[in-house]
């Protein structure tokens, strides 16, 4: 999967700065720029028209370029999600539940689902956990022993996923509720049988979970449609529940939400053109009021190679697993995928790959973190004095205005 950061780096900002008041919002949620066009060498790129079209207002309107983003409200997100589920269900002749599980596994990428399915259906079913038929036949029994609580109960008190492993309703409810309360990792829920990889879909949640947990699960599923999509992000404004779908490569990253908040789609902070995102991120990190926390994070943690969240290792081996829904497994020392590690690379408590890179001088992570710590301490020393002087200056102006 192509990382979002790499895709963003390949994009070039080419549009002029703009204000939220310059745009009209139509029923489809698209914004249109009345004043500016995309920069380029052709007349079309500058929205120029031929002499014959000057007297035709319709020609001018039709040549207005569409901006590269769409603001989505909750109803729009739900509709798009349902449309994608229906599309996959129809094309692959699957149930809505199976289509939902497939799309969630492939980060709601319809094209990738189709490509993978038609390439090797059996492999996809195995990796996702979609069983064509139950692996356990329980149709002949009138009562079962639950594999969790070991109670002997009538068959009416049991439920199972597509695999057929029977567990009583009470144990199912406890298992599902615990997973949902643990967070969005419940979207990847599997059969309680330790050796079984069968997926637990929304139908099981609707049938077994209480109302409160059902609502939480629905919100996790809805939010995953945006958070797992590399072309969509939530509006960072407090209290805003809108999302912005951005056409990667569409140019300027400054977007304006329906709540009137204007932000950079790339780094999701307030619009900062012409300063680049990396510079703004560094400045915000240095100016953070939690300076000591940032200092500690820089000195004691590393970022997940996949989702970039900071991770602290305080004990145990070098095999690290990021929290769901990322769940990426990697080596703490070399930060490479754990699937490429084993006895040949030093086992669980060392890494020959990292040691070899260290000898070549290609890895100097500890020194970089130490330099980052020293740099931050130096910056904090001067920034605190500057902030103190600014505070005194503001109070002086206030007192001066009050005639004190």
Give the model's confidence band at 172: pLDDT under 50 very low, under 70 low, under 90 confident, else very high: very high
- What are the φ and ψ backbone dihedral angles of 138, each rounded to 5 degrees? -120, 15
Tens of pLDDT, residue by residue over 347-373, are: 788 787 777 777 666 555 555 666 666
- The predicted model gives 385-399 an average pLDDT of 68
Stretch among 93-107, 190-204, 220-234, 325-339 having the lowest mean pLDDT: 325-339
Least confident range from 30-39, 157-166, 187-196: namely 30-39
- Which residue has tokens 């070549």? 360
pLDDT digit string, tens, across residues 55-85:
444 443 334 345 678 899 999 999 999 999 9
C-alpha span between 301 and 349 (Å, rounded): 18
**Band of the pLDDT at 178, cuts 50, 70, 90?**
very high
DSSP-assigned letters across all residues of 84-98: HHHHHHHHHT--HHH
Per-residue pLDDT tens digits for 271-297: 888 878 888 777 777 666 555 566 666
Check pLDDT > 80 for residue 47: no
Tell whether the model's pLDDT for residue 2 goes beyond 90. Answer: no
Q: Could you tell me the two tokens for 168? A: 């009583």
The two tokens of residue 345 are 């690379």
Residue 195: pLDDT over 50? yes
Residue with structure tokens 């500690």? 296
Contact 31, 8 (CB under 8 A): no
What pLDDT, on the 0 to 100 scale, is given for residue 350? Answer: 79
pLDDT value of residue 249: 65
Average pLDDT in the 263-268 region? Answer: 88
Contact 320, 311 (CB under 8 A): yes
pLDDT (tens digit, 9 = 90+) per residue, 227-249?
988 889 999 998 899 999 987 66
Are the C-beta atoms of 162 and 231 separated by less than 8 Å? no
Catalogue the active-site residues. Answer: 317
Residue with tokens 């001067």: 382
pTM assigned to the model: 0.58
Q: Which residues of 46-84 are buried (b: 16+ CB within 10 A; e: fewer)?
A: eeeeeeeeeeeeeeeeeeebebbbbbbeeebbeebbeeb
What are 295-333's pLDDT values in tens digits?
A: 666 666 787 888 878 788 878 888 889 888 888 888 888
CA 66 – CA 80 distance, rounded (Å): 20
Nearest in space to 265 (alpha carbons), one of 257, 255, 274:
255
Sequence length of the chain is 404
The reported pLDDT for the residue numbered 388 is 77
> Is residue 299 within a helix (H) or strand (E), and if so which, with residue range?
helix 291-300
Q: Are 84 and 111 in contact (CB under 8 A)?
A: no
211-227 and 74-92 are packed helices; what angle lies between their axes, rounded to 10 degrees? Answer: 80
Start-to-end C-alpha separation, the chain: 64
**Which whole number is the average pLDDT over 148-170?**
86
What's the confidence (pLDDT) of residue 287?
A: 67
Token pair listed for 387 = 């902030």
**Best CA proximity match to 205, nearest among 227, 226, 175:** 175
What pLDDT score was predicted for residue 145?
83
Q: For the chain, what is the mean pLDDT?
A: 76
Work out the percent of the chain whose per-residue pLDDT is above 70.
Answer: 69
Mean pLDDT of 132-143: 77
Tell me how far CA of residue 125 lies from CA of 44, 122, 163, in angstroms.
47, 5, 12
pLDDT attached to residue 139: 67
User: How far is Cα 221 from Cα 173, in angstroms, rounded to an integer?
Assistant: 19
Domains of the chain: 75-228 (3.30.40.10), 232-286 (no CATH), 299-344 (no CATH)
Q: DSSP string of 190-208?
A: B-SSTT---B--HHHHHHH
């Amino acid at each position: 999967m192509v990382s979002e950061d790499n895709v963003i780096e390949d994009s070039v900002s080419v549009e002029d700065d703009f204000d939220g008041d310059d745009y009209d919002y139509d029923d489809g949620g698209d914004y249109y720029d009345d004043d500016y066009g995309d920069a380029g060498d052709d007349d079309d790129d500058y929205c120029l028209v031929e002499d014959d079209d000057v007297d035709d207002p319709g020609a001018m309107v039709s040549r207005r370029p569409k901006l590269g983003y769409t603001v989505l409200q909750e109803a729009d997100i739900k509709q798009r999600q349902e449309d994608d589920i229906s599309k996959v269900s129809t094309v692959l002749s699957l149930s809505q539940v199976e289509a939902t599980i497939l799309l969630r596994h492939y980060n709601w990428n319809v094209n990738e689902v189709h490509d993978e399915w038609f390439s090797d259906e059996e492999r996809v079913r195995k990796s996702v956990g979609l069983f064509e038929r139950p692996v356990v036949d329980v149709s002949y029994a009138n009562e079962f022993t639950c594999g969790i609580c070991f109670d002997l109960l009538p068959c009416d008190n049991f439920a199972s996923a597509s695999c057929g492993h029977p567990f009583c309703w009470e144990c199912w409810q406890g298992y599902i509720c615990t997973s949902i309360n643990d967070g969005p990792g419940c979207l990847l829920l599997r059969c309680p049988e330790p050796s079984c990889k069968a997926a637990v879909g929304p139908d099981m949640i609707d049938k077994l979970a209480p109302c409160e947990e059902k609502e939480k699960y629905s919100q996790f599923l809805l939010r995953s449609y945006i958070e797992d999509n590399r072309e969509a992000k939530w509006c960072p404004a407090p209290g805003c529940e809108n999302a912005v779908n951005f056409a990667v490569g569409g140019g300027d990253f400054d977007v304006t939400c329906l709540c009137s908040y204007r932000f950079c789609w790339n780094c999701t902070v307030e619009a900062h053109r012409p300063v680049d995102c990396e510079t703004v991120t560094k400045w915000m990190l240095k100016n953070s009021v939690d300076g000591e926390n940032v200092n500690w994070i820089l000195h004691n943690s590393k970022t997940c190679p996949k989702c970039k969240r900071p991770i602290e290792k305080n004990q145990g081996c070098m095999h690290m697993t990021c929290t769901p829904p990322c769940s990426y497994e990697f080596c703490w020392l070399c930060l490479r995928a754990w699937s490429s590690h084993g006895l040949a690379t030093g086992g669980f408590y060392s890494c020959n790959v990292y040691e070899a890179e260290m000898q070549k001088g290609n890895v100097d992570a500890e020194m970089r973190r130490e330099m980052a710590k020293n740099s931050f301490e130096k910056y904090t020393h001067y920034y605190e004095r500057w902030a103190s002087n600014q505070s005194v200056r503001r109070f002086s102006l206030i007192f001066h205005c009050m005639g004190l």
